[in-house]
Amino acid sequence: MLQKHGIACDLMHGFNWDQWTTGTPTKRLQLILAGQQHILEQEDGKKRWGQVVTELSPEPSAKASGPRSR
């Protein structure tokens, strides 16, 4: 998992996201779009980002995917 986290960090290398913790809500929303653009500008960025995020995401448990109790 640390290896996948490192890949995600590498994909975001050079992106300045300092405003995420200090910026206004508007600035933070703008960072989301800027981060998306940063990924899309890279060769196969969309594909590589999607792959690493999928690999870092927890697997849904069998219990969670079953029918809901009412």
Nearest to 30 by CA among 45, 44, 48, 18: 18
Place of tokens 């109790």: 69
Query: How do residues 19-57 score in pLDDT, each as one tens digit?
Result: 999 999 999 999 999 999 999 999 999 999 999 999 999
- pLDDT of 31 reads 96
The type of residue at 55 is E
Question: Domain residue spans in the chain?
Answer: 2-53
